[in-house]
């Protein structure tokens, strides 16, 4: 089974990653991986750390001559900022008492981690629990994408909203006054206006954009690529930037909503036979394991609880294509199953159904604020204090969208290899073609 392990601290020498049971013969493109690492460091609202680091992957093992060898893949991502921290992060020298931290930040791993591991210095928690660790997962996800690309599987991600501004945004008051009918939102206050989640009146086109965005649309992809916030609609960009600028002055932070999609996933990844073999369960775990994520929705997500079965279920259709050639260069007729809606988000009964797998997640505001707003306690004295300051970001939602995309890539790769597994890419392709022929070729 495909396995991933990461190690390293935020201000240590660097990050180490091991990927085990990855097949041989996969072509490795370092530029593609480093581009993903660069995206993780980008985005409007990032802090000063990103000006110091320029993440690059350095393979240690498992790759030779540009291709994977079948051995465990290991790689290193250097922390350039270690030079400024090596006295405080030395692995052997005793830690001076005057630099130890005893004041946990609310919303961070500081409090529970210090108590769990019986630590007298919160830095031992915050260094490992930092989102710096996600650089490892972005690189690992990129390696998985390189394998899945061989089978036409594509990934995309975007930021739908930040701080309630953008497509799919909503606030707490809307939950009590929104009625969902036919997959659309209506105002329950009596006017019957169609609304988006933040209560603004919207058109049919805006409603479709907010509730069912296709991240593989050429125009949408271009918008995301050209956006400092990785947002699909340019008209929202300046409003969000202005909002982030205001928060920076206030010393506050903000979260947002992220959408990740993957297309061309073959039918049947995952299983209905056991609870821990369900694809959607593993996707939810993978996304929720990312720092600061607080919810995961697949397909219609929470909207499913407001819809009728006749509106929610995705009807199944079939068409045939002739003249397709198989491996033996013979012309065959191939069946194509498709849906006109995708409320299930590409997963039914814990298995992929061939449609776009669509995952929406909510990222909370970063817990390190630039002004001492938050009350906390000193773990040594139990005295009331204000939370301490650590270099941080105002908004890391755009960067997190890349992390979510990589997490989804790893999970899809895990289940893909379980379904079509082999020791080499050639063996996997034979298994894949045999299955596709069995499912889609007309007899």
Q: How many CA atoms lie within 13 A of 329 on its CB side?
A: 0
Domain ranges of the chain: 3-167+213-299+344-440
What tokens appear for 53 in the block? Answer: 């680091």
Residue-level pLDDT at 207: 39
Mean pLDDT of the chain: 87
Residue-level pLDDT at 392: 76
What tokens appear for 376 in the block? Answer: 């906390």
Concatenate the DSSP letters of all residues of 268-327 into one string.
Answer: T-B-SSSGGG-HHHHHHHHHHTSTTEEEEEETTGGGGGGS-HHHHS--EEEEEEEEEE-T
What tokens appear for 372 in the block? Answer: 């001492």
pTM of the model: 0.88
Residue-level pLDDT at 250: 92
Within the chain, which residues score under 70 in pLDDT?
A: 47-53, 168-211, 322-331, 442-443
Residue-level pLDDT at 183: 38
Residue-level pLDDT at 324: 53
- How do beta strands 347-348 and 351-352 pair? antiparallel
- Which of 229, 355, 362 has the alpha carbon at shortest distance from 294? 362
Assess contact for 257 and 160: CB atoms under 8 A: yes
Residue-level pLDDT at 371: 85
Cα distance between residue 47 and residue 370, in whole Å = 11
Indicate the helix (H) or strand (E) that contains 256. Answer: strand 256-263
Indicate the helix (H) or strand (E) that contains 259. Answer: strand 256-263
pLDDT tens, residue by residue, 169-181: 544 344 333 343 3
Residue-level pLDDT at 281: 98
Given the structure tokens 């991502």, which residue do they identify? 77
Q: Is the dihedral of CA 258, 263, 269, 274 positive or negative?
A: positive
Residue-level pLDDT at 320: 79
pLDDT tens, residue by residue, 121-159: 999 999 999 999 999 999 999 999 999 999 999 999 999
Given the structure tokens 């039914």, which residue do they identify? 348
Residue-level pLDDT at 440: 78
Paired with 181 in beta bridges are 184
Assess contact for 335 and 441: CB atoms under 8 A: yes
Chain centroid to CA 314: how far? 25
In percent, the amount of the chain with pLDDT more than 70 equals: 85
Indicate the helix (H) or strand (E) that contains 171. Answer: none
3-167+213-299+344-440 CATH, one of 3.40.50.300, 3.40.1190.20, 3.30.9.10, 3.60.150.10: 3.60.150.10
Residue-level pLDDT at 124: 96
């Amino acid at each position: 089974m495909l396995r991933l392990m990461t190690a390293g601290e935020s201000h240590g020498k660097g990050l180490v990653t091991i990927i085990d049971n990855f097949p041989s013969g996969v072509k490795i493109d370092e530029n593609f991986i480093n581009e993903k690492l660069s995206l993780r460091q980008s985005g409007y609202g990032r802090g000063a750390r990103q000006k110091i680091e320029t993440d690059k992957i350095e393979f240690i093992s498992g790759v030779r001559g540009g291709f994977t060898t079948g051995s465990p893949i290991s790689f290193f991502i250097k922390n350039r900022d270690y030079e400024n921290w090596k006295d405080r992060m030395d692995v052997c020298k005793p830690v001076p008492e005057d630099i130890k931290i005893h004041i946990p930040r609310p919303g961070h791993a500081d409090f529970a981690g210090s108590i769990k591991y019986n630590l007298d210095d919160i830095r031992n928690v915050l260094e490992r629990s930092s989102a710096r660790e996600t650089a490892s997962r972005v690189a690992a996800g990129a390696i998985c994408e390189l394998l899945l690309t061989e089978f036409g599987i594509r990934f995309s991600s975007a930021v739908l909203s930040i701080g309630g501004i953008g497509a799919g945004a909503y606030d707490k008051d809307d939950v009590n006054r929104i009625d969902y009918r036919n997959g659309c939102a209506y105002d329950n206050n009596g006017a019957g206006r169609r609304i988006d989640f933040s209560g603004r009146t919207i058109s049919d086109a805006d409603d479709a954009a907010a509730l069912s965005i296709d991240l593989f649309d050429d125009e949408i992809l271009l918008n995301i690529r050209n956006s400092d916030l990785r947002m699909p609609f340019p008209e929202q960009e300046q409003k969000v930037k202005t909002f982030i600028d205001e928060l920076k002055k206030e010393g506050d932070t903000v979260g947002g909503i992220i959408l990740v999609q993957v297309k061309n996933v073959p039918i049947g990844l995952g299983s209905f036979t056991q609870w821990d073999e369900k694809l959607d369960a593993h996707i939810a775990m993978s996304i929720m394991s990312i720092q600061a994520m607080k919810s995961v929705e697949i397909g219609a997500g929470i909207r499913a609880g407001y819809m009728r079965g006749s509106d929610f279920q995705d009807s199944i259709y079939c068409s045939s294509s002739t003249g397709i050639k198989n491996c033996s260069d013979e012309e065959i007729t191939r069946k194509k199953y498709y849906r006109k809606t995708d409320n299930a988000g590409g997963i039914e009964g814990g298995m992929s159904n061939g449609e776009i797998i669509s995952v929406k997640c909510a990222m909370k505001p970063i817990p390190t604020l630039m002004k001492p707003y938050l009350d906390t306690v000193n773990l040594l004295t139990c005295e009331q204090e204000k939370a301490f300051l650590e270099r941080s970001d105002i908004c890391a939602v755009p960067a997190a969208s890349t992390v979510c995309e990589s997490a989804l890539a790893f999970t899809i790769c895990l289940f893909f290899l379980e379904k079509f597994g082999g020791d080499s890419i050639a063996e996997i392709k034979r298994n894949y073609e045999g299955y596709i022929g069995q499912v889609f070729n007309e007899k």
